[in-house]
Structure 1
Amino acid sequence: MSDVRTVVVEREMAHAPEKIWRALTQPHLIQEWLMQSDFAPDLGHKFQFKAEWGAVDCKVLEVEPKKRLAYSWEAYGLESVVTWTLEPTANGTLLRMEQEGFKPDQNQAFHGARHGWQNFFNQLENVLAQPEQEEAQ
């Protein structure tokens, strides 16, 4: 299993963990920076991310509100796990995303994820920079 690779993106954001957590767990906000989904932060919940190119099948594996979130991420032969970690800092939150499970023959998926997650993080920062949205939508 040592040949399995992981994509890691880590960025300090000038927002409280609570605000970032909402953007990671509320479907109407997730849609603005990642993809359309029927996500719910409930252990064992099965959901999909949907985009023009297809869908990603997922299952919630870990939920520690405002601190840690993990879910499986399966699409086109890729079986991986995405783990989000939120750590408060003096200026906001250190947000870390790890996607683990890229096999040696999945170079295209690995490099696509490395590039894609950077873009998703940029879009997430844009969503977080917007004025607070109503939580109940």
Structure 2
Amino acid sequence: MATIALDQFVAAPPAAVWRALTEPELVRRWWAEGDIAAEVGHEFTLDMPGFGAQPCRVVESVPPERFVYTFTTEWTLAWELRAEGRGTRVLLEHSGFDLDDKRMAAAFERMGPGWRDVVLPRLAETAAAL
């Protein structure tokens, strides 16, 4: 299984980034509509434009340091927040890509740049505005 591993500096403290990752109205601003919550075992959906509601389940929540949830039935998103100077280093691991599966390999190729160039910068903007 392959993993997309990225990091993004955010000019906001870990508590603000945590809020941006775990509060539905803030997640909607930078990524997708959904009923996310930072409680282990919480099941929710994220409504991905063009793909519909994707099932998710929180598997780890350590405020304001680590937030992990399944995304669809195949992937896991693990967010780690580290205080850095006057901001936060956000580390993302999007795992579970079977590169032998043509569909998954194509998703892997698209999602890396999407996270890096679009989604993580939008997360940074959202958190910095809090």
By the TM > 0.5 criterion, same fold?
Answer: yes
Match of residue 112 from structure 2: 114
2:57 to 56, 59, 65: 59
Indicate the structure whose relative CO is greater, using CA pairs within 8 Å and at least 6 residues apart. Answer: 2
Counterpart in the other structure of 1:74:
72
Q: Give the letter for the 2:109 counterpart.
A: H
Instruction: Give yes or no for the alignment of 1:88 onto 2:83.
Output: yes
Equivalent AA in structure 2 for residue 58 of structure 1: C
Which stretch has the larger CA shift, 93-102 or 121-130? 121-130
**What's the secondary structure of 2:72's corresponding residue?**
strand
Question: Are 1:31 and 2:31 matched, yes or no?
Answer: no
Q: TM-score if structure 2 supplies the norm length? A: 0.91
What count of residue pairs does the alignment treat as equivalent? 125
Deviation at residue 17 of structure 1 after TM alignment: 0.2
Q: Which moved more, 1:23-32 or 1:101-110?
A: 101-110
Q: Is there any run of 5+ residues in structure 1 with no aligned partner, and where?
A: 133-137
Residue by residue over 1:45-79, the C-alpha shift from the partner in whole angstroms, topping out at 9 and shown as x without a partner, is: 1000003311211000000000000000116xxx0
Amino acid across the alignment from 1:127: T
| Deviation >6 Å, runs of 4+ | none
Cα gap change, 1:52 to 1:14, in 2 (>3 Å): closer
Q: CA deviation at 1:89?
A: 1.2
Q: What SS does the aligned partner of 1:29 have?
A: helix
Matched, 1:5 2:2: yes
Richer in helix (by share): 2
Percent identity of equivalent pairs: 31
Secondary structure of 1:99's aligned partner: strand
Contact 2:11 2:124 (C-alpha < 8 Å) held by counterparts: no
CA displacement 1:17-43 (0-9 Å, x = unmatched)? 000000000000000001000111111
Whole-angstrom CA distance in 2 between matches of 1:102 and 1:70: 16
SS in 2 for 1:126: helix
Deviation of 1:90 after TM superposition, in Å, equals 1.6
Q: What SS class does the counterpart of residue 12 from structure 2 fall into?
A: coil
- Aligned mates of 2:27, 2:15 — CA distance in 1: 15
Give the Cα separation in 1 of the matches to 2:10 and 2:125.
Answer: 11
Match of 1:124 in 2: 123
Across the aligned residues of Structure 1 and Structure 2, the Cα RMSD in angstroms comes to 1.2
Asked whether the equivalents of residues 10 and 128 of structure 2 are also in contact (C-alpha less than 8 Å), the reply is no
The amino acid across from 1:124 in the alignment is L
